[in-house]
Amino acid sequence: KIRNISISASLPPLPAVRYVLKEVEVQDVGKKGDGVYLYEFIEIFIRALLMSVVKGAPESVQVNLASAFGEDLWKNLDVGHVLFDSGAGLEKIGEFAGWASAQAALMPLKMAAMGAEIGAKTVGMGVKMNMEALKIGSELTGAATKAQTGAINQQVAIGAKAAEEAAKVSLAFSNGFAKAFTR
């Protein structure tokens, strides 16, 4: 029995995934025969540990790990049970070869599903970004229209003031001219 096993699985181009197996337990080693030699025990222990790492992995990397190690990780081991705890209590490894084969066969479907999910999220993000850009564009257009209207109003006011002043000058000139001839 070993406890608190930290795993970091790196499967490029995916980012590294870290997880912990709380416990791996190998029961009844050598009970099928007359015991095992030390080298056999080490092989059983390493294979049991690797199978636990694969089956206890998060779904995002489990299929890739199963494919990487292959179904031959489980061979005719002289062991009663291999148990692991990835946080949900002790679970039996069970028939690893069949499970690994099934996981490898499901890999293309899982990858397609993940691709569809990523595509849907990307479309959603694109729509959200386009809506935000449209909102900002509308706000800028409104601000530009308001500024342009203000500038036109100022030009009209200045033009009216200039016309008023020109009219005063013209009136003063006309009044002065008229006074000069009426004397």
18-22: list long-range contacts, CB under 8 Å, 24+ apart: 19/56, 19/57, 19/58, 19/86, 20/86, 20/87, 21/52, 21/53, 21/56, 21/84, 21/85, 21/86, 22/85, 22/86, 22/87
Question: For residue 112, how far is the Cα from the chain centroid?
Answer: 16
Helix orientation angle between 59-69 and 38-55, rounded to the nearest 10 degrees: 140
pTM greater than the 0.75 cutoff: no
Match 């499901």 to its residue by tokens.
106
Q: CA-CA distance, 21 to 30, in Å (whole number)? A: 24
pLDDT in tens, the chain (183 residues): 888 988 888 877 778 889 898 999 888 888 888 888 999 889 888 888 888 888 888 877 877 787 777 667 767 777 888 888 888 888 887 665 566 666 666 666 666 676 777 777 887 787 788 788 778 877 878 777 887 888 788 888 888 887 787 777 777 766 666 666 665
